[in-house]
Structure 1
Amino acid sequence: MNILITGGAGFIGSNLARALVARGHVVTVMDNLSPQIHGEDSPLLATVADRVRFLRGDVRNRNDWIAALEGQNAVVHLAAETGTGQSMYEIERYVDVNIRGTALLLDLLANQPHSVRKLVVASSRSIYGEGRYRCAAHGIVYPLAREAAHMQAGDFHVKCPQCGTNAELLATTEDSRIHPSSLYGITKQNQEQMILTLARSLNIPAIALRYQNVYGPGQSLSNPYTGILSIFSTRIKNGNEIVIFEDGEESRDFVYIDDVVDATVAGIELEDPGQHVVNVGAGQRTSVLTVARSLIEAYGADVPVRVSGNFRLGDIRDNFADITAAHALLGFKPKVDFATGIRRFAAWVNGQAVRADTYDQSIAEMKAKGLYK
């Protein structure tokens, strides 16, 4: 197929482009080379630029979309602003890129001749908000965002929305309630719903891949707004203290880049006329404190770790994916466990130049907006 990847010069996109070229597909990448993410220092431009067609373009520009869509059989829409915390004050930019950029794609598909017969959109675990829990008294529940007053008192547990007692975390299934707790999550929900709804009306097969926390060699080491492994690694390499929010036991589902690429390729090549949503994760939870300790060990470093008790409004407590549907529909089964992935990631970081640590700047911005407590 002729496949367009938006945001294809980034971490996931560049790895996906390499995999698709190796499978005989013809790949076009459209990317604006955002300075916050990677700028000119793109993994794609460094490794496979001679094997893909690269267009420097912006999803907010209709003419860029027109040029990129010509002759394409499939579109993999990865381009997005991605910082959960940053989205809570860079509101117009996140809506403009994530929602309006997607609207332009769909407007062209609805109103202009095209050859697109498959749509794949990068959705996110953030659309679930606090996710799926069990209350001893009320069964399956979907808690709302945690109360700032509780967290300021050092209670970071997720509560049953009916009785207020601590609830037990469960794996999040695709039919779980969607109620994002950040502006970023809202924009990803909109992206997914827009593409699936319009694809159905246009009779184009589509799949939304709800990525968990993707990590691995090639991810940005200079973006202070997202990517906890990168943020911690940059601080470690600069000899700076690692400050962990809440009590350090908050957790995420970390999924290795090779597994994400496998699932995405399977979604692109899926021969099914319908529309689908699928979780893409490792199906395991790992605490933030475990991440910090694992990276320090992998680097053989000696930097202090401080559990601060501070928190960011919009952050969820825990999440891990139920990946049963991904296995059934895509044959997806993660191959790289977290311990192996951390070693591979750290080995790659050791071969990179040490980047300036600008994380404190991002925290200062959140403090100034009243979002960091």
Structure 2
Amino acid sequence: MRFFTGDVSHAPDWDAVLRLFQPRQIVHLAAETGTAQSLTEASRHGLVNVVGTAQLLDALTRSALVPDQLVLTSSRAVYGEGAWQSGSEVFYPRPRSHAQLLAGEWDPVGPTGIPAVPLPSCAGRTEPRPTSIYAATKLTQEHMLAAWAAAHDTPLTVLRLQNVYGPGQSLTNPYTGIVALFARSARAQLPLEVYEDGRILRDFVFIDDVVDALVAATRKPANGSRWLDIGSGIATTIHQLARKIATLCDAPEPIVVAKFRDGDVRAASCTIEPAANELDWHPKWTLDDGLRALLEWIGQT
């Protein structure tokens, strides 16, 4: 195994890598992350995610290299608020405005005024509707690789990841995940603050399950291009998450506060059956076991 440290937006770095070896498969993981952060740092996210991907493709052209397969890790963020159902009608709500959040209007309401419920995302039927710069750049990555792959008859697998957590993630970057932030605060015996009404929904998937999905994708190439969702398949409220972590750390009971963060979507979860069928992959880690593993790792760092 070789490691090369470089900048994905810097063409000479790509050329140097491709002079060292010519990969048969490329798994593209590099990206700047941060949904809310990207709204104020658009150029950085565009440079790394969009220009960086373009530099990869140009470097392949300069090297006259067409890999046997491309795999991209994308994000559940491309769905934005996702699809919701009100009565018998499925609709795509607009992004929640600052005024809505300030008024405590957390959930979208259907076109006829009937309360709505979120639907799990499925790449085969849920429309991508990015609501952040980060999400827009990830969807752009998908489109760029899909266009290049089609032109070169190269199989492409796009894995849209849900909220990934586990040992090795940053414990100080506020944009890398609520799980790590909660874990750090709970270990310090601080009460966890849960935003909105505590009912924000997320699908938390352990890092080992994501790695297994990536390996499975490389071993079972696509026939053309395919898009799959990778998660646990279980929607968890942020309040439920906070209580689990607080219990494991013997920390105070979490506090639901009326704070909010502009740019956050209300609900995000996915259907994993297509990935299970395509890749013969199934998540093995429960949220409880994953949290214990994360907390154990934090205690050793």
Normalized against structure 1, the TM-score is what? 0.76
- Structure 2 residue matching 1:56: 3-state secondary structure: coil
Quick one: which of 204, 208, 224 aligns to 1:274? 224
Quick one: which of 108, 128, 143 aligns to 1:193? 143
**Equivalent position of 1:168 in the other structure:** 117
**Equivalent position of 1:308 in the other structure:** 257
2:157 and 2:197 mapped to 1: Cα distance? 36
Q: Does 1:209 align with 2:155?
A: no
| Per-residue Cα deviation, 1:82-137 (whole angstroms, up to 9, x for no partner) | 11111110111011111100011112223431252211111000000111211115
1:327 and 1:282 mapped to 2: Cα distance? 11
Segments of structure 2 that go 5 or more residues without pairing to the other structure are: none
Q: Does 1:133 align with 2:133?
A: no
One-letter code aligned to 1:200: A
2:42 and 2:206 mapped to 1: Cα distance? 29
| Per-residue Cα deviation, 1:178-233 (whole angstroms, up to 9, x for no partner) | 10111111111111111112111111111100000011122111212221111112
1:284 and 1:271 mapped to 2: Cα distance? 26
Deviation at 1:165, TM superposition (A): 3.6
One-letter code aligned to 1:331: D
- Structure 2 residue matching 1:276: 3-state secondary structure: strand
One-letter code aligned to 2:3: F
Q: Does 1:258 align with 2:208?
A: yes
The structure 1 segments of at least 4 consecutive aligned residues displaced by more than 6 Å after TM superposition are none
**Equivalent position of 1:144 in the other structure:** 94
Query: Are the structure 2 counterparts of residues 53 and 315 from structure 1 closer, same or farther at C-alpha, using a change threshold of 3 Å?
Result: same
2:107 and 2:8 mapped to 1: Cα distance? 39
Quick one: which of 44, 65, 82 aligns to 2:33? 82
**Equivalent position of 1:108 in the other structure:** 59
% identity of equivalent residues: 39
One-letter code aligned to 2:101: M
**Equivalent position of 1:34 in the other structure:** none
1:252 and 1:193 mapped to 2: Cα distance? 25
Normalized against structure 2, the TM-score is what? 0.94
1:229 and 1:209 mapped to 2: Cα distance? 21
One-letter code aligned to 2:287: F
Quick one: which of 37, 40, 62 aligns to 2:11? 62
- What are the within-5 Å matches in structure 2 for residues 34-45 of structure 1? none
The 8 Å contact of residues 110 and 202 in structure 1, kept in 2 or not, is answered as: no
1:268 and 1:164 mapped to 2: Cα distance? 46
**Equivalent position of 1:246 in the other structure:** 196
Quick one: which of 237, 241, 259 aligns to 1:287? 237
- Structure 2 residue matching 1:271: 3-state secondary structure: coil
Deviation at 1:78, TM superposition (A): 0.7
- What are the within-5 Å matches in structure 2 for residues 334-349 of structure 1? 334-349=283-298
Alignment root-mean-square deviation, CA? 1.6
One-letter code aligned to 2:267: D
Number of residues paired by the alignment? 298
| Per-residue Cα deviation, 1:30-83 (whole angstroms, up to 9, x for no partner) | xxxxxxxxxxxxxxxxxxxxxx21111010111111122331111111111111
RCO (CA 8 Å, sep 6+): is it higher in 1 or 2? 2
The 8 Å contact of residues 284 and 320 in structure 1, kept in 2 or not, is answered as: yes
Quick one: which of 48, 51, 70 aligns to 1:119? 70
- Structure 2 residue matching 1:85: 3-state secondary structure: helix
1:238 and 1:65 mapped to 2: Cα distance? 43
Deviation at 1:239, TM superposition (A): 4.1
Deviation at 1:318, TM superposition (A): 0.7
The 8 Å contact of residues 191 and 251 in structure 2, kept in 1 or not, is answered as: no
One-letter code aligned to 1:136: G
- Structure 2 residue matching 1:158: 3-state secondary structure: coil
Report the more deviating stretch, 218-227 or 176-185.
218-227
One-letter code aligned to 2:169: Q
